[in-house]
Amino acid sequence: MNLKVQLGKLTLQNPVMVASGTFGYAREMAAMFDLSRLGAIIPKTVTMTPREGNKTPRTVETTAGLLNAIGLDNDGIDRFLIEKLSDLIQYGSPIIISIAVKSVEECDLFGEKLRGISGIAAIELNVSCPNVSGGTDFGTDPALCEKIVRRMRSVTDHFLIVKLTPNVTKIAEVAAAAARGGADAVSAINTCLGMSVDWRNRKPRLANVVGGLSGPAIKPIALRCVYQIYQAFRKNGVKIPIIGIGGIASAEDLLEFLVVGASAVQVGTANFYNPTVALQIIEQLPQILEENGIDDVNELVGTLKT
């Protein structure tokens, strides 16, 4: 049974990654299972300088989902490289660093910081955080997305993934812009804008008022986005792979994403209520594939019949 996935020059032993912001810096999960079995680990997004994030409360449960307005709380790139990266590397899975920039010019600074750093398999450029002030949601404008990706591409040789937002009218156009800018892959989707209200007190439940919705509730949206991107890529001869994200909590979920066009997936919110879910998915895959006469997981990519 072949579970290995080749995303350009990035090789994954299986198509199951853990999404940024849902797995901490992996240290928190190391006692749960052997992290070397993961396809890749994507730690929480880092910015050039430390950020405190938004005021609390900044998470709230909803029906079949989670709203968050964390605001990219992190210690900054310098402390990440000094204090976190070596720990992450020891777990034996490829490390994909997630970064967010506040301007096109800041790409240059990240390029300098990451140049020559060993242990980083890829960069995921987060152009899609929906609850941060200060210019990080570059994924809503195709022209700006292309510009920032092109700038990042010019300053790094790392495999470059661009994380897209669903909070647009035509996500395939933004994906195409990322590809033109030099992305090696796109990941879809980040969270959907939403809110929760305490009507008795006439107050929002998030201090930020709105936040990003994730979890099972957004899986149909994520599947639609991956499908639209894949179809547009195929129509226009774009060859870069798509990584699916959104509500994935089982091997069946993963396989749905592959069929609509994803080559790999990221497991996110499910990690909060089932910390070993990614391993369970990996272990479920071979049996399901064998039962359906499939000996290579890659055979399923883009096979939806319409």
- With a threshold of 0.95, does the pTM exceed it? yes
Grade residue 136 by pLDDT with cuts at 50, 70 and 90.
low
Which pLDDT tens digit goes with each residue over 250-262?
A: 999 999 999 999 9
Which single residue is written with the structure tokens 């749960």?
Answer: 32
Go through the chain and tell me how many residues it has. Answer: 306
For residue 135, the model assigns a pLDDT of 45
For residue 131, the model assigns a pLDDT of 63
User: In DSSP terms, which residues pair with 267 in a beta bridge?
Assistant: 18
Grade residue 22 by pLDDT with cuts at 50, 70 and 90.
very high
* Interhelix angle 219-236/251-260, nearest 10 degrees: 30
pLDDT at 273 over 60: yes
User: In DSSP terms, which residues pair with 59 in a beta bridge?
Assistant: 68
Angle at CA of residue 100, ends 133 and 210, nearest 5°: 35
Grade residue 157 by pLDDT with cuts at 50, 70 and 90.
very high
Grade residue 128 by pLDDT with cuts at 50, 70 and 90.
confident
Q: Which domains does the chain have, with CATH numbers?
A: 5-49+74-196+214-300 (3.20.20.70)
Give the whole-angstrom CA distance, residue 163 versus residue 185: 9
Which pLDDT tens digit goes with each residue over 170-226?
A: 999 999 999 999 999 999 999 999 999 999 999 999 999 999 999 999 999 999 999
Give the whole-angstrom CA distance, residue 55 versus residue 174: 30
Mean pLDDT of the 287-305 span: 97
pLDDT at 125 over 90: yes
In whole angstroms, what separates CA 41 from the centre of its chain? 10
For residue 213, the model assigns a pLDDT of 97
Asked if 49 and 136 count as a contact pair (C-beta separation under 8 A), the reply is: no
For residue 138, the model assigns a pLDDT of 87
In whole angstroms, what separates CA 266 from the centre of its chain? 6
Give the whole-angstrom CA distance, residue 49 versus residue 218: 31
The rounded mean pLDDT for the chain is 95
For residue 231, the model assigns a pLDDT of 98
Asked if 302 and 56 count as a contact pair (C-beta separation under 8 A), the reply is: no
Contacts of 276 (CB under 8 A, 6+ apart): 32, 33
Which single residue is written with the structure tokens 């990240």?
Answer: 110
Which residues are known catalytic residues? 129
Contacts of 64 (CB under 8 A, 6+ apart): 215, 216, 217
Tokens of 100: 């967010």
Grade residue 133 by pLDDT with cuts at 50, 70 and 90.
low
Which pLDDT tens digit goes with each residue over 64-123?
A: 999 999 999 999 999 999 999 999 999 999 999 999 999 999 999 999 999 999 999 999
Mean pLDDT of the 115-141 span: 83
* Percent share of the chain, pLDDT over 70: 97
* Percent share of the chain, pLDDT over 90: 95
Mean pLDDT of the 137-141 span: 87
Which pLDDT tens digit goes with each residue over 158-186?
A: 999 999 999 999 999 999 999 999 999 99
Give the whole-angstrom CA distance, residue 26 versus residue 43: 7
